[in-house]
Amino acid sequence: MSSVEARSKQAPREDGGRKAPLPAPRERDNLKPRVALAPILITLVTLAVAALLAWAGWEAYMAAPWTRDGTVRVYVVTMAPEVAGRIVEMPVADNQFVHKGDELFEIDPADYRIALEQAEAQEQRDAAALDYARANEGRQSTLARQGWASTDVFQQTKSTLGQGEATLDLDKAAIAKAQLNLERAVIRSPVNGYVTNLLSRLGDYATVGQKIVSVVDVDSFWVDGYFEETSLERIHEGDPATINLMGYSEVVRGHVGSVARGINVPNAQPDQSGLASVNPIFTWVRLAQRVPVRIDIDHVPDAVRLVAGMTATVQVNPALGKIQP
């Protein structure tokens, strides 16, 4: 069989096969760049995202001062009576919210009401005596001008009148004091807040100066962030701040109110002779001191319940611009 016949027999088998025809040379040339460009684009996008995340991390942890050592603080008003007596009314309960001016407790007012009535009665008696002294002084003055009364009698009458006027002034002061004590028998809340750690009960005897009720002032919450001294250069009054409370995902917002101007220095404590006590031991690793920074709160989400003593993470954001207190 010649080579021409062999090629003629093989040709039908190749033409009758089901293999897909190869693309034209122009289509193959267009396909190769498109396939090679996709990995490059994916790599560039990945690098851009990684760089953005790295920049954000640097800003969050290096450029913006932050600390995990933060504490929620609040002012607590302690109510102690200025008069003594048995507690006869206590309309509040532990952890109850009270408004400014609401009654917290009342001391038995009977003794102080009686004292007020006695002072008022004493004033009336002295007022009557003063009226008589004035009338007598007028008569003696007329007799003295006419020569019917001696100078000594007239001077004694004037002295009695002066004593009566002074006594009446004392009576007015006694009435004011008795009225004040009666008003002090009812103790009212000076702030809006929550009654906390209530241990006194109805019927307890309250003495002057004894702590009876404590109220957490809800309008006075702030956060103390204890920042390392190396971060103080980037912290200024008015800088906005974010507060993350342990146990809450929502963010509390505020601003830097002030920076503490002093912390305890153990080596500065004097001994008995007044000399500074300096520790002779010094380690090679020296930790930065932490300085309290007061963060005034601007906004609290509705779902967040502020409690004094809570742990907080505080971040100051100087780049966002200062907030005027």
Task: Find the mean pLDDT for residues 252-270.
Answer: 89
Same domain, 163 and 244: no
Which residues span the domain enclosing 310?
63-73+220-320
Question: Sign of dihedral through CA atoms 270, 272, 275, 277?
Answer: negative
Q: Based on the structure, what is the number of domains in the chain?
A: 2
* Pair 230, 78: CB distance under 8 Å: no
**Listed range (7-11, 112-116, 315-319) with the worst mean pLDDT:** 7-11
Single residue among 132, 164, 184 that ends a domain in this structure: 184
Residue 322 has pLDDT above 90, yes or no: no
Residue 254 has pLDDT above 70, yes or no: yes
212 lies in some domain:
no
17 lies in some domain:
no
160 lies in some domain:
yes
Residue 288 has pLDDT above 90, yes or no: no
Residue 20 pLDDT: 52
Q: For residue range 194-217, what is the model confidence (pLDDT) as tens digits?
A: 999 999 999 999 999 999 999 999
Single residue among 184, 206, 231 that ends a domain in this structure: 184
Q: Which two tokens stand for residue 88?
A: 């006869």
45 lies in some domain:
no
Q: What is the CATH number of the domain that holds 281?
A: 2.40.30.170
Q: Bigger pLDDT: 193 or 59?
A: 193
Q: What is the mean pLDDT of the chain?
A: 84
265 lies in some domain:
yes
3-state secondary structure of 214: strand
Q: What is the CATH number of the domain that holds 172?
A: 1.10.287
pTM of the predicted protein model:
0.71
Same domain, 67 and 148: no
Q: For residue range 118-139, what is the model confidence (pLDDT) as tens digits?
A: 999 999 988 888 888 788 777 7
| DSSP string covering 251-319 | EEEEEEEEE-S----GGG-B-TTS-B-------S--PPPEEEEEEEEEE--TT----TT-EEEEEE-GG
Same domain, 236 and 316: yes
Nearest to 91 by CA among 215, 210, 205, 188: 188
Question: Sign of dihedral through CA atoms 307, 308, 311, 317?
Answer: positive
Q: What is the DSSP letter of 105?
A: E
Same domain, 313 and 226: yes
3-state secondary structure of 106: strand
Same domain, 243 and 297: yes
136 lies in some domain:
yes
Rounded CA gap, 284 and 286, in Å? 6
98 lies in some domain:
no
125-151 core/surface letters (b: 16 or more CB in 10 A; e: else)? ebeeebeebeeebeebeeebeeeebee
CB atoms within 10 A of CB 228: 14
289 lies in some domain:
yes
* Pair 290, 227: CB distance under 8 Å: yes
Task: Find the mean pLDDT for residues 288-301.
Answer: 96
Q: For residue range 228-248, what is the model confidence (pLDDT) as tens digits?
A: 999 999 999 999 999 999 999
Q: What is the DSSP letter of 230?
A: G
Same domain, 170 and 118: yes
Same domain, 173 and 236: no
Same domain, 175 and 229: no
Rounded CA gap, 89 and 203, in Å? 8
Per-residue pLDDT band at 165 (split at 50, 70, 90): confident
Long-range residue pairs from 149-157, CB within 8 A, at least 24 positions apart, any chain: 157/133
Rounded CA gap, 206 and 305, in Å? 33
Residue 297 has pLDDT above 50, yes or no: yes
- CA angle, 221 as apex, 93 and 297 as ends, to 5°? 145
Query: Taking the mean position of all CA atoms in its chain, how far away is CA 73?
Result: 5
225 Cβ contact partners less than 8 Å away, ≥ 6 residues apart: 67, 69, 70, 241, 292, 293, 295, 312, 314, 316
Rounded CA gap, 258 and 144, in Å? 75
Residue 31 has pLDDT above 60, yes or no: no
Same domain, 118 and 162: yes
284-322 core/surface letters (b: 16 or more CB in 10 A; e: else)? eeeeeebbbbbbbbeebeeebebeeebebbbbbbbeeee
* Pair 207, 84: CB distance under 8 Å: yes
Fill in the amino acid letter for 1: M
Same domain, 252 and 305: yes
Per-residue pLDDT band at 105 (split at 50, 70, 90): very high
